[in-house]
Structure 1
Amino acid sequence: MKLYTPLSDEEATQAERGEYLSQSLFWVDRPDPGEATDDAIWVEIEVSASEAAQFERPFHEELGYREFELPSEVASRHRAVRITLPGER
């Protein structure tokens, strides 16, 4: 399954390199631009549904997306890719 999180430019570069980020991050199964700052860079990783399931958090079910709190050592095992959301340049 694909998971997404907004990062700063520096963090996005670290994630692309597979480097550990300093903290656990929240990842979602559907990016929501309203949940991030205007200068955020969205990145995507692909993880197995079974691996993601153990980190799922039910915080924003009413908003229509699932949320996962992945420890940095888990997220860094997956190649992060910068993405452009619809409507962005």
Structure 2
Amino acid sequence: MDKFADSLQRLADPGHSTTGSGFHYELRFDSLYEMGRAFRFPCDAIGRVALDALSARQRQSLERVMDLVGRDYAAPQLVTLAG
């Protein structure tokens, strides 16, 4: 299993769906070099991303940013959203 697939397996729960429930959390990957630049993905309270709720472009972005953790982006943070 490649690095991305292994990491994604830990973050994603294929049986878990957040569709229609409203998101109250996000998984945020902050840039190590550009303040304010980050990738953000909706997730549940423990950081699981519902892949079926993401667009193809969002899934590609998640794959790309996970590959860049430690080089261009910090490890993901679980962020609680207001409201």
What TM-score, normalized by structure 1, do the two folds share? 0.27
Higher strand share: 1
What TM-score, normalized by structure 2, do the two folds share? 0.28
